[in-house]
Structure 1
């Protein structure tokens, strides 16, 4: 009991710290136009590859653009589209997982066999394949990531629903004449939310990492739009002379992914959810 209490207190501290860091990052994402000292897309070859200064706190890149401004605006793309991917995939996975788990039978078989087919491929390889078919671009990458990610939410939700619908209080609700929607809304969805909170925070880090990886390969965000993965791609030619061009966006990606992972692990300990 004492050990369990210590784990909960420790996880609570990490949750608070991680939430604070994410709050700052989302604040930067929203208010980037007012926080950025310069226009992130303005090219000025006279000031290319400048060291840090008052005008350019993080220096400039190979085209004379303010690195700090591009980092701040890059948060809008990396975090903003990661949130879009998360919400879209979660919504699709929630609907399909609820239907498959509650209905069962051939409906469950059809939906889950399709999900198994998607999960049979490595996620990044499948995303790259879809982007190769649909063409390079941010919109195509977002659709590909949503297509890959929803199956994980659906599988988790289906498993929870299968265990819940056999409970006595669900049987009592059916006997009392409650509709299927009322049973899901009152008894099933509230019990699905804790594992979804854990999985969602971990998958946010996954989405940002994959979005940045694909942009690094030149298939995602296209110039001159600032995005952390694309910034690493643009700075790789200057890794020996100006490593900061890759260092700053790389540190931001690492900070966001580690923060989401720590938050997810702490939430799993807080709610007592065991993950494989």
Structure 2
């Protein structure tokens, strides 16, 4: 058992290393209230813009709030809501992709033409437009990102379903009287999972970047809630005197996005799946 685990680690170093980093980040996200040394929203102007110390390992911001605590709590928003966006978009895309690919005909045409209409707009501009219509706020940004994201999952899943429908074992299942539900759950969905795993890791980085971008523009997370993009926005006024206010959350965004991309690229090579 140990020898097999060592063989897996040796052959899939990038996948294992990326997975361990993400596991640590998700642990931080879950246990942030216990790991943070201070309340991330408590304002104390007496301690504003302090350098790193034992009490404040990463110093404090312009309002005297603990930078480390805000970064730890920021993981709950950045990672947590990015995961929510991914799971919601995946669920919608999976259902629509299965229906479009399996049913075909006018249903397929109607769903895919709507998806083409959404994909015709640059994703960031479409998100900005939707947030402009619905109003600023985290909920509106999350809904806008889900609306933009599901179409990519739907198209990939539809393509996989269309290719699987022509396989002999699907034809045999139909001849033996298997229901459509049984065919989809037993034969189609398991074959869709590998490309979904690759897309999920790649698109998680996309979701975090866009979520942070909206917060940086002041359209997403609103003060005093800690979030990495919002922290960069708050620290931009002090970029010359205290650049660490932008560097620390920026490094966290970079670490998470690069890790997800490395994992996605490694999984795509492992399963032989091309990126869209």
Q: For the superposition of Structure 1 and Structure 2, which TM-score range results when normalised by the shorter chain?
A: over 0.9
From the superposition, tell whether residues 2 and 30 of structure 1 become closer, same or farther in structure 2 (CA, over 3 Å).
closer
Hey, what does 1:180 align to over in structure 2?
Answer: 180
Contact 1:97–1:153 under 8 Å retained in 2: yes
From the superposition, tell whether residues 7 and 159 of structure 1 become closer, same or farther in structure 2 (CA, over 3 Å).
farther
Which ranges in structure 2 are unaligned for 5 or more consecutive residues? none
Q: In structure 2, how many angstroms separate the alpha carbons of the residues matched to 1:89 and 1:35?
A: 31
The alignment partner of 1:86 has SS state of helix
**What is the Cα deviation at residue 272 of structure 1?**
1.4
State how many pairs are aligned. Answer: 276
From the superposition, tell whether residues 5 and 158 of structure 1 become closer, same or farther in structure 2 (CA, over 3 Å).
farther
Contact 1:86–1:200 under 8 Å retained in 2: yes
Give a deviation string over 1:128-152, Cα, whole Å, max 9, x none. Answer: 0000000000000000000000000
Which ranges in structure 1 are unaligned for 5 or more consecutive residues? none
Hey, what does 1:96 align to over in structure 2?
Answer: 96
From the superposition, tell whether residues 39 and 22 of structure 1 become closer, same or farther in structure 2 (CA, over 3 Å).
same
Contact 1:205–1:260 under 8 Å retained in 2: yes
Q: Does 1:225 align with 2:225?
A: yes
Q: Does 1:261 align with 2:261?
A: yes
Scaled by the length of structure 2, the TM-score of the pair is 0.96
Q: In structure 2, how many angstroms separate the alpha carbons of the residues matched to 1:159 and 1:125?
A: 26
From the superposition, tell whether residues 100 and 11 of structure 1 become closer, same or farther in structure 2 (CA, over 3 Å).
farther
**What is the Cα deviation at residue 274 of structure 1?**
2.2
Scaled by the length of structure 1, the TM-score of the pair is 0.96
Q: In structure 2, how many angstroms separate the alpha carbons of the residues matched to 1:157 and 1:4?
A: 33
Q: In structure 1, how many angstroms separate the alpha carbons of the residues matched to 2:60 and 2:121?
A: 40
Give a deviation string over 1:3-60, Cα, whole Å, max 9, x none. Answer: 9999998771100000000010000000000000000000000100000001100000
Q: In structure 2, how many angstroms separate the alpha carbons of the residues matched to 1:4 and 1:41?
A: 47
Contact 1:11–1:267 under 8 Å retained in 2: no
Q: In structure 2, how many angstroms separate the alpha carbons of the residues matched to 1:47 and 1:188?
A: 58
